Amino acid sequence: MKIVVTGGAGFIGGNFVYYLLKNHPDDQVICIDSLTYAGNMATLEEALKNPNFFFEKADIADREAIYGIFEKYSPDIIVNFAAESHVDRSIENPEIFLKTNIIGTSVLLDACRKYGITRYHQVSTDEVYGDLPLDRPDLFFTEETPIHTSSPYSSSKAGADLLVLAYHRTFGLPVTVSRCSNNYGPYHFPEKLIPLMIINTLNGKPLPVYGKGENIRDWLYVEDHCSAIDKIIRNGRVGEVYNIGGHNEKTNIYVVKKILELLGKDESNITYVTDRPGHDMRYAIDPTKIHNELGWLPETSFDEGIKKTVEWYLKNQDWWQPIIDGEYQKYYENHYGKK
């Protein structure tokens, strides 16, 4: 089987590349990544040593480049991780999110129609559902929850989801969509909450927390997410949406304090900053459908996963140090320096 992984030099895509190479060693994995700020070839250093791994630098919105890759490899399955994904960046510059997340998805879908595939899988987010109230812990997102987006990022992902499902209905394209909760684990880009808190703690820097840190997220260890997607692309029903959740709901401030505990630090560097516009209060996913149909459940508790994640960042400073020394640092200072 030949599997294209777009965005494979990013966080979840990179972990999925390694999941496939480990669990399906006879498959060929073709990674497409445009290597923007969040794409890092250092993430793929070990994968490049595998004879069944191939890398193509291309923007998924570049039709000519994508068609050329499809002609070259004749892939069977496409798993689309490629996306602009940071909410704060989408508020500052929405247009690039529309280009990558919607136009890029449309180019991939057209390539699938033109060259033929057995499955196109769209990796989406629970953020397309909006948020849930903090005082209703009994409420969860299901696949039937109406789309109700809060940011340019989530709107662009919702638009891509609808386009994917429309290609199935209109053209009969064999598609699936998954919507996941917040991922964490190795290779997570340093602007996201967990790696940002780990790295800032190690460097003795302030720990910027939005509002009072009361926002709740359902944390999903990235390897559990990879196993869920693998089940969907091989056995999921065509035309269906599957929610992937971690059953690990935690407030942001709990996560920050847990990281400090694991690193043996006090809470003196926690700094509460002005909340961002339209900040969703609570995400929580009901993964009953994927459990009932495909037998998937998350295997990693938050306490286990966060410990493994902290240990990974301690052992892999040579991966994240060049990132925070570069262009990202300019963005970080500009963004959080104004709060």
Determine which one of 18, 120, 129, 153 is catalytic: 153
- The CA dihedral of 35, 280, 157, 303, to the nearest 10 degrees, is 60
* 45 pLDDT tier (thresholds 50, 70, 90): very high
Q: Is 127 one of the catalytic residues?
A: yes
- CA gap 81, 335 in Å, rounded: 25
pTM flag (> 0.85) = yes
Q: Taking 50 as the threshold, does the pLDDT of residue 335 lie above it?
A: no
Q: What is the DSSP letter of 211?
A: T
Q: Which range has the worst mean pLDDT, 257-261, 296-300, 325-329? A: 325-329
| Percent of the residues in the chain that have a pLDDT greater than 70, as a whole number | 92
Query: What pLDDT does residue 331 have?
Result: 44
Give 93's pLDDT tier (boundaries 50, 70, 90). Answer: low
- What pLDDT band is residue 333 in, cutting at 50, 70 and 90? low
Q: Which two tokens stand for residue 214?
A: 């009361």
User: Mean pLDDT highest for which of 68-82, 270-284, 315-329?
Assistant: 68-82
How does DSSP classify residue 99? I
| Residue-by-residue DSSP string for 152-206 | HHHHHHHHHHHHHHHHHHHH---EEEEEE-EEESTT--TTSHHHHHHHHHHTT--
For residue 210, the SS3 value is: strand
Q: Where are the alpha helices (DSSP H) in the chain?
A: 11-23, 63-73, 87-92, 95-98, 104-115, 152-171, 193-202, 222-235, 252-262, 288-294, 302-315, 317-325, 327-336
Instruction: Please tell me the distance from the alpha carbon of residue 4 to that of residue 6, in angstroms, as a whole number.
Output: 6
pLDDT (tens digit, 9 = 90+) per residue, 188-217?
Answer: 988 889 999 999 999 999 999 988 888 888
Q: What is the pLDDT of residue 92?
A: 61
Residues 6+ apart with CB under 8 A from 61: 99, 100, 103, 104, 107
> How far is residue 328's CA from residue 339's CA, in Å, rounded to a whole number?
17
Q: What is the mean pLDDT of residues 165-177?
A: 98
Nearest to 259 by CA among 201, 210, 320, 191: 201
Gap between the Cα atoms of 110 and 102, Å rounded: 12
Of the candidates 56, 59, 84, 127, the residue annotated as catalytic is 127
Q: What pLDDT shows up at residue 85?
A: 54
Q: Is 328 a catalytic residue?
A: no
Q: How confident is the model at residue 36 (pLDDT cuts 50, 70, 90)?
A: confident
CA distance 227 to 296: 8
Helix, strand or coil, per DSSP, at residue 19: helix
CA dist., res. 66 & res. 177, Å (int): 21
C-alpha to C-alpha distance for 159 and 142, rounded to whole angstroms: 18
Q: Mind listing the pLDDT tens digit for each residue in 107-137?
A: 999 999 999 999 999 999 998 998 887 888 8
CB within 8 Å of 83: residues ≥ 6 apart? 7, 100, 101, 104, 123, 157, 160
Assess whether pLDDT exceeds 70 at residue 312.
yes
Do residues 162 and 215 lie in contact, with contact meaning Cβ atoms separated by under 8 Å? no
pLDDT for residue 87: 52
Question: What percentage of the chain carries pLDDT values higher than 90?
Answer: 72
pLDDT at 337 over 90: no
User: What average pLDDT does the structure give for the chain?
Assistant: 90
Instruction: Look up 126 and say whether it is catalytic.
Output: yes
